[in-house]
Structure 1
Amino acid sequence: MSRTTKLATIASASAAAALALAVTATPALAWTAGNFTATLNGTMTIDAGVSASCTSSTLKGTIASDGTLSITSATVDGCGVTVTPKALPWSGKLDNGVATINGFAMDAIGCTYGGNLTGGFTGTDLPVTATFANQTVNRTSGLFCPASATITAKYDFAAS
């Protein structure tokens, strides 16, 4: 076999292997776009010097095929005090095991706290569970309020 024929054979085999790999490669993660409801799994703890445990919370919105979230509705109940979500919509994303909620804001007892939450999630499409542990949010308004609060919550996201 001539040198040219050997090189052509090797190049052809390499091209065939590359094509086979490209055809069998796993496609990029894509979420099923649409509406979602995220329900509190367990309790939400809000600690601003005094800890409050909330027993109910629901987030609603949309998820895009790239995992981008738009949270247009939020409720929190069973905290012992009135907690009111503020500044909706919030944005966020579910991406490579990282869950984010940006623009998060809540008011309780005349103190408003806000910021971004970052946690982790399991799963590759809805339903997934996202956990936000010990996330610090800063005071954005209120007199005689602690400078920050810590949020811990776990949400089950499902298509709705």
Structure 2
Amino acid sequence: MALVLTADTHLPKRAKRLPSALLEAMDAADVVFHAGDWVDGATLDLFESRSARLVACWGNNDGPELRARIPERADVTLGGLRFTVTHETGAATGRDRRMAAAYPDTDVLVFGHSHIPWDTLADNGLRLLNPGSPTDRRRQPHCTFMTATVSDGALHDVHEHQL
């Protein structure tokens, strides 16, 4: 099962359109995750129209229209793995430990907010993934998104794509 992970698209404020590499990856994916900060409903419409399956949440920059359409937290089981998508996880220091305690029934936590790519494994086995942002690199050298696969009950081939 092919996955695309993204967050913090911030359209149309940070960019006018999504990068073609992200759109192509979405078209090929079985499941697309978006961890919030869409900013406008048109971007959610675009993701819904181009994703075979969309798992998404809202972020701190998303207003009432988006919050009425998608949850603050989304949970889904894919190929035997339990995924949670949320926007904010707090400071980087101690994140793995805090999130392992906050999400004891999750195998993979997809989050956003910082625009900083993150891929770590907590002591309890929780995989934490932040795909960064495909449109607003902030202090990072590149805009990014991630892809991965799920097979045999495990997450494989996690790859950060630099744009």
Structure in which a larger fraction of residues adopt strand: 1
Which gives a bigger RCO, structure 1 or 2 (Cα 8 Å, sep 6+)?
Answer: 2
Structure in which a larger fraction of residues adopt helix: 2
